[in-house]
Amino acid sequence: MAENSKDVGSASKQSLVFTYGTLKRGFYNHALMQDLISRNDAVYLGGDFLTHHTFPLVCGPHGIPYLINLPGSGHRVKGELYSVTGPGLARLDDLEGTAIGHYERLPVRVVRDRGDVVSAEAYFAHRSFGEALWERNGRVGLSEYSEAEGRRYVKRRDRPDEGGSILDDVRVFVAASDGK
């Protein structure tokens, strides 16, 4: 499916969203981005983008990637940039669990491969557990969520149903000390 930059209706406000994990092309949740593109609720802006500052990027429970809002730690993180309408942003917020405190959408500056600095937004691990995830991962992060990490991702439908929420899974993961 071609994902070239096409015009999106100018009637609604656009937001730039930096994706670094499962929403990227080739990863499981990119199907949502493809749907948004097909409905003219998103446009892939092409090119390679890196965060302007360094941030921790780690994998948590179920191989879920988390960007952590600790600028100056970690690496400059590689990702993709999309222009997204308000309705598209609402669907992304729903996927990312912003209403339940799973992720929070925060400003981030990213640099295009040709050097342009762009202000966008990204989904960061919620502040209630982000730093603990960084500590749990030994303060070692990734510069890119790659195919290797993507293979460890467990789809929602394939996760054990133990009656808890994703936030419960995060708490258990953070509390574990076995390093796995």
User: Which residues are designated catalytic?
Assistant: 96
The CB-side HSE value for 129 (13 A sphere, CA atoms) comes to 25
110, β-bridge pairs: 51, 118
Q: How distant, in Å, are the alpha carbons of 56, 76, 160 from that of 72? A: 9, 9, 35
- Residues 130 and 68: beta-carbon distance below 8 Å: yes
Alpha-carbon distance of 164 to 138, in angstroms, equals 26
Strand, helix or coil at 116?
A: coil
Residue of 43, 56, 47, 17 whose CA lies nearest to 115:
47
For 73-104, give the DSSP string: SSBPPEEEEEEEEHHHHHHHHHHHTGGGTSEE
Bridge partners, 114 (sequence order): none
